[in-house]
Amino acid sequence: AQSVAQPEDQVNVAEGNPLTVKCTYSVSGNPYLFWYVQYPNRGLQFLLKYITGDNLVKGSYGFEAEFNKSQTSFHLKKPSALVSDSALYFCAVRDMNTGKLIFGQGTTLQVKP
């Protein structure tokens, strides 16, 4: 069965510092991986995806993610965090047959001024 794990419930970072939000996955075959962000009382916003190609994927709002096949990880990164990046972040893997997304539990990112 396919699954995604986000080992940290919360990540705290000072504004201007680099941030990393961790994600590991378990799939059979090649993974299609996604990151979404959710602000309070809002729907999920698409940040970036990995389908194939370069292991470093660039997305919206200055975020990027690094696909590491040997470690089965897809960590979300940003070189310099903003207070406005504070939100709930979800990693997801796509089911190859139906396209449905299987989400992790989410990680709350708190960026302090």
Partner 1 sequence: GAGVSQTPSNKVTEKGKYVELRCDPISGHTALYWYRQSLGQGPEFLIYFQGTGAADDSGLPNDRFFAVRPEGSVSTLKIQRTERGDSAVYLCASSDPGQAQFFGPGTRLTVL
DSSP sequence for 54-88: -SEEE-GGG-EEEEETTTTEEEEEESS--GGG-EE
Q: Site mask, partner 1, residues 16-45, x = CB under 8 A?
A: ------------------x-x----xxxxx
In terms of Cα–Cα distance, which of 35, 24, 26, 22 is closest to 2? Answer: 26
Nearer of residues 17 and 110 to partner 1, judged by Cβ:
110
Nearer of residues 70 and 98 to partner 1, judged by Cβ:
98
Cα–Cα separations (whole angstroms), residue 55 to 51, 86, 103: 10, 25, 21
Output the smallest distance, CB 101 to partner 1, in A: 6
Output the smallest distance, CB 71 to partner 1, in A: 21
Could you list the residues that contact partner 1 (CB under 8 A)?
Answer: 34, 36, 41-46, 49, 90, 92, 97-106
